[in-house]
Chain A
Amino acid sequence: MILALAGLLLPAVAAWWVLRAMRLRVPGDSRILAAAVAGALGIGASSLVTFATVFLEVFPGPVFVVADASLWSILCLAAWWRTRGRVAEPEAAPHVGPAREWTAADWLVRAACVAVVAASFAVPVIEYLKSPHGQWDAWAIWNQKARFLFRAGDGWTASMSIPWSQPGHPLLVSLSVARLWAYAGAELTAVPAVLSGVYGAITVAIVMGALDVGRTRAWVAGAVLVAPFAFSHLASAQTADLPFGMFVVASLAMLRQDDPPAWRQPGRARSALLLAGALGGLSAWTKNEGAVFLVASSCLVARVTLRHARWQDAAWWMGGVAPLAALVAYFKLVLMPILPEYVSGASGSTLIEQVTSIARHAAVLELVSPMWLPWGGPWARGSILVVLAAALVSSMSPTGHSARGTLAVVAVMIGGYYIAYVLTTLDLRWMVATSFERLVMQLWPALVMAALSVGQVDLRDSARVAFAQGER
């Protein structure tokens, strides 16, 4: 397991140094956010390398482990070497005005958040002891595909003929599990379980980092994010919904508009958009829903581009998305040309008939509407509605640019999921019952981030920018 943990850490550390070497900075220069983004990028990038080695037929033997570890180590050293001796970045700029001292209430909120996080992350441990192979979809889909990759190498495509294994879904989660099994030299059930927990931890770090851990709202957000059983249960699931939600919220965190002066700097905007594009692309490499997210976030990027009247903004975002979108297209059109289970077997006329049928829409609404209130698990009834309302209020405030953008993307995604329900050829009742909680969970971190995006622009950020501009 130690080797597997080393395999998990290596690409994350390499990504951290590469970000620094390329001067790619996250909004607000939050170290926690940067570390979380490096972790997410590390997982994503290492899955891409693993995918390449499967084709080169060196996966999963010792040659793979040595080559993979060497690659990340060399990358890490090269990036570190490049940053050596560089003049300190403006993040070291002094604060303007006295920093606010934390009150007893602030400390209480922080302590409560730590307690909530501890309780929530105990759930995956308990569930792992009871269900080491994860939940139904884990052993029926994601870990099963990982086994195909680990046991058969390039023969993994045999999994394509297993209809319930969702062969058309991309491979990030399964490749990540198989890669760490290769490091461990065995199919340890702890590997997908730990990975699942790491996805949860990165998600929390992204939301808290984006909201600035120096401010109490970030700690409230952290507690609210992990409190529903739906979150901790999904962190135990070993499935792809949580990592998908992680990439979605990470991409949206890069697109936050809290600090208008920072967005007016082309360098800062370039960093944010390139990272947002890459993280959005990785969401599409995680689950089919990623395509919906890319469509939704492209609207937000278009708005950002128009607002700053800089077409390069869209180009940077596209630069991050394009390689991954090309890979997903190759996967879906060449390797696994299979329609998703939920629309397979339907003719064009059937789909048009369903979209235009009022009865069909009524049936979807009738099934979906009552599911919003109880979402979240015990003592979380109504939480999604309260957070939605808070996000709406936040988005209507004068400084609510970030909440507005995030909420717009979430709205488009909900629309996409609704259309999938309308179009599905599967039993609608079953489809809604088995997917609704997971689909909402994918959007929950983004909604919590939007809901807590309250308050004024952090003056320290603006001060840093002014300082940086003065320095140049």
Chain B
Amino acid sequence: MVKFLAGGAILWALVAAGAGLRAALAMPADSMGHLEAEFLPLASYLPPRGEVGYLKPFEDTPGDDGVRTHYAAQYALVPRVVVAEEGREFVIVARDTARPGGDARLDGYFLVTRAASGHSVYRRLAP
């Protein structure tokens, strides 16, 4: 009986491990590497430490994409803290997050740089 159960367990383990391998092969590639690389060119235009702002998308988008982009900015720009609040001296404006045709939240800011990816850094005109 014990041998039968052990044999069954081993057979199941072989099948399950094979199925796991198949599942891993079918998994899509994660975009974090690309997202991180998109934000890295902005680092030299930001203070080396401290908090920098992050403009929230002008309209709520369904899914995790907006959150993932914000988290990617934070991950890339450590040890800065990228806070989704307005009023900071430096503000990161991710691609497609500002309202097209002019975003009132960026009034009083000027464009410091725009990376090839479309992400930008804005800085307040006066302290």
Taking Cβ atoms with an 8 Å cutoff, the residues of A that contact B are 105, 108-109, 112-113, 115-116, 119-120, 122-123, 126-127, 130-133, 135, 139-140, 143-144, 147-148, 151-152, 155-156, 158-159, 161-162, 164, 216-217, 220, 223-224, 226-229, 232-233, 236, 376-380, 383, 454
Given contacts A105-B3, A162-B74, A227-B17, contact A378 B30 (CB under 8 A): no
Q: Closest CB of chain B to A168's CB: distance in Å?
A: 16
Residue of B9, B13, B30 with most chain A CB atoms under a 10 A cut-off: B13
Give the complex CA separation of A164 and B54 in angstroms: 15
Residues of chain A contacted by B36 (CB below 8 angstroms): 133
Given contacts A140-B71, A148-B79, contact A454 B19 (CB under 8 A): no
CB closest residue in chain A, given B67: A164
Residues of chain B contacted by A120 (CB below 8 angstroms): 17, 20-21
Evaluate contact between A127 and B10: CB separation under 8 angstroms: no
Q: Does B14 reach chain A (CB closer than 8 Å)? A: yes
CB closest residue in chain A, given B2: A454
Residues of chain B contacted by A226 (CB below 8 angstroms): 13, 17
Residues of chain A contacted by B27 (CB below 8 angstroms): 126-127, 130-131
Give the complex CA separation of A228 and B7 in angstroms: 17
Residues of chain B contacted by A377 (CB below 8 angstroms): 16, 19-20, 23
In the complex, which of the residues B10, B29, B71, B78 contacts A223, with contact meaning CB atoms closer than 8 Å? B10
Interface of A is mostly: helix
Evaluate contact between A229 and B81: CB separation under 8 angstroms: no
In the complex, which of the residues A139, A147, A216, A229 contacts B19, with contact meaning CB atoms closer than 8 Å? A229
Q: Does B12 reach chain A (CB closer than 8 Å)? A: yes
In the complex, which of the residues B9, B16, B17, B33 contacts A132, with contact meaning CB atoms closer than 8 Å? B33
Taking Cβ atoms with an 8 Å cutoff, the residues of B that contact A are 2-3, 6-7, 9-25, 27-30, 32-33, 36, 49-51, 71-72, 74-75, 78-79, 81, 83
Residues of chain A contacted by B49 (CB below 8 angstroms): 152, 155, 158
Evaluate contact between B20 and A228: CB separation under 8 angstroms: yes
What 10 A-B pairs come out closest when comparing CB atoms? A131-B30, A229-B20, A152-B79, A227-B13, A223-B13, A378-B19, A119-B17, A379-B19, A227-B16, A147-B78
